[in-house]
Chains A and B, each alone.
Chain A
């Protein structure tokens, strides 16, 4: 794969933005400044960016309760996301959705989703729209290992296979479905094994390695766009925080967690690979770290100053037309 210097810097910027955004949120929630259920994506950045960097605004993406990473990777405005988490009217969802529902349909982000597996049929529907209308678009669904046990998963992949829809189903297998280890509830060794039941193509990628995800996702996306049907792409990964902010993860082996966090951080891996080729140097990356931190600081500041919704906003946007 050939990456230009700018492309590599852009990838790094996206991944760093996700990581810093999640870390900042962890602080904000712990300090009680932001409310609601928060599910952090730190550790899985290579997957969101590896896939979404190859999609346009016309390609729709479906997500999960752990959706901040997909939103940022898809180009949703970070300041608007922060404002949404603070419940302000300047938020992506005008303060009506919160963390689990952040969306920007114009950027092709069909929304984070509070129902495990709930985004998968929506993505299948987006792929159906593209097929019916003859558009060269692709729909990509992100979901976790736990979601592959949901009926909605099976039914959607069945339909996508029957109709050869232009879809890519990306499973982020981080080893845990909430507090339960994957191997305890998924009877197959690799989620990718499930694709066989739908006659669907399946590939496994190292979810901590941006370049591996990028290559395998690229193949799947190209095939879908060419009308060759959907692919199930399983990315092995690990979530650095708990299931939600406040989860002290007593169910996880401390040494195993430390190993992933210290030795397999996708940002570290990317930095090593990217700098060893000599195309970019570490100083450029540190510069980006500083820019991202500043951008987030400004985002928090403007979010805290943004207006809260009025009582009347409670009743709006239920319907397009009120009788």
Chain B
């Protein structure tokens, strides 16, 4: 079967014009074939006797298939099978024979493999640097557009991590410390960092060794994956940041951790100061933390700060626009250090802890000071809490909001110093 054109793959024998035994002259049309609806006359390449037909009329065969045989003379020896074996060369159809190759050893986990709980992009150079430094790039806060983690972010994170304090297996926290003397441990509240005690630090540093603990997921502290960050865990983490016994001061959710510390490790706590504490959440607190969580996932630091400001500070404080603006900027910067995932875990921890220690307040065996704020919208029951703790003293700062430590530092500092001495 001839190949009449590049794309022809097979042809059909339409009609043999001669019968076996007939005399054929070179150039005679021996058969008619058909391919792709076109018929073609096939001429004899040589003269002789038509000896054998291999493909019958109506059959379709690939190009190169032996169709017939002509011998120069009528009576010479002709073995049809041998001739077929020697001359039949049907074209093979292009077959599979493909080899699927697997990618060379993956040296870094594909994005699909590592469960990214946030959508922030990570630059390739950052991934490579993180791998080299043995860090998880997801743990790094990105300063690039859209929160992209850059190589510099990874390097900064690594450098900051060198300064972290290990508190548990594979977990290290960002601890800010200074001063000398007896140790005072500061535990900040939900979604903030140690800068919440910015107005207390200078005063305390003059007299004490101050250890401010940024909990899991805040600032450069490790943010291990978890469904929640339990309050008990925050307490035991904190206990690992100092030796012996210390004065422990906590605000809001930090006060919950401080309370836990005092209940679990009373011999580690010299004195306990609880600023706007709670043992049970209330509907408004839950509503505010819910809103906070939603906004944190979508809004910028300033937007979030603007939404939270009225819940933390009193009208009197907010009346001064310059103060309000300054506070907004400061709060925005602090909020930027707590990613949405951390907030989620802290809120879950808060919800799980709420109500579990109400009846244990009478067990507190440490000298306790409760500082409450007169205009506290979030944890108004602080005063009642004080009476449940044996021997606790209460200082109420009239007219101040939940963030009383920032709003009314003189009153707060005075109370604390008196308590610590």
Contacts and interface: CB of A to CB of B under 8 A. Distances in A.
Interface of A: 27, 29-32, 37, 246, 248
A32 B5 contact: no
A30 B2 contact: yes
Nearest to A35: B6
B91 A246 contact: no
18 contacts: A27-B45, A30-B2, A30-B3, A30-B4, A31-B64, A31-B89, A32-B2, A32-B3, A32-B63, A32-B64, A32-B91, A37-B6, A246-B3, A246-B4, A246-B6, A246-B8, A248-B4, A248-B38
Contacts of A27: 45
A319 to B, nearest CB: 30
8 closest A-B pairs by beta carbon, nearest first, are: A30-B2, A246-B5, A246-B4, A32-B64, A32-B3, A32-B63, A248-B40, A32-B91
Nearest to B7: A246
> What band does the interface of chain B fall in when counting residues whose beta carbon is under 8 Å from A?
10 to 19
Interface string B294-324: 0000000000000000000000000000000
A37 B3 CA distance: 12
A202 to B, nearest CB: 37
A29 B5 CA distance: 9
A32 B89 contact: yes
Nearest to B87: A31
Contacts of B64: 31-32
A29 B2 CA distance: 8
Contacts of B3: 29-30, 32, 246
Contacts of A246: 3-6, 8
Contacts of A32: 2-3, 63-64, 89, 91
A130 to B, nearest CB: 39
Contacts of B89: 31-32
Nearest to B91: A32
Contacts of B91: 32
A75 to B, nearest CB: 29
Contacts of B41: 248
Nearest to A30: B2
Nearest to A29: B3
A32 B10 CA distance: 12
A172 B292 CA distance: 89
Interface of B: 2-6, 8, 38, 40-41, 45, 63-64, 89, 91
A31 B2 contact: yes
Nearest to B64: A32
A31 to B, nearest CB: 7
A248 B2 CA distance: 12
A40 to B, nearest CB: 14
B341 to A, nearest CB: 51
B68 to A, nearest CB: 14
Given A31-B64, A31-B89, A248-B38, 20 more contacts: A27-B45, A29-B3, A30-B2, A30-B3, A30-B4, A31-B2, A32-B2, A32-B3, A32-B64, A32-B89, A32-B91, A37-B6, A246-B3, A246-B4, A246-B5, A246-B6, A246-B8, A248-B4, A248-B40, A248-B41
Contacts of B8: 246
Contacts of A31: 2, 64, 89
A236 B91 CA distance: 40
Contacts of A37: 6
Nearest to A245: B4
A37 to B, nearest CB: 7
B106 to A, nearest CB: 28
Contacts of B6: 37, 246
A27 B46 CA distance: 11
Nearest to B89: A32
Nearest to A27: B45
A299 B348 CA distance: 87
Nearest to A250: B38
Nearest to A23: B45
Nearest to B45: A27
Contacts of B2: 30-32
B67 to A, nearest CB: 11
A255 to B, nearest CB: 16
A30 B11 CA distance: 13
A37 B5 CA distance: 8
Contacts of B63: 32
B331 to A, nearest CB: 59
Nearest to B40: A248
A38 to B, nearest CB: 11
Nearest to B46: A27
A29 B45 CA distance: 13
A310 B338 CA distance: 62
Nearest to B65: A32
B8 to A, nearest CB: 8
Nearest to B90: A32
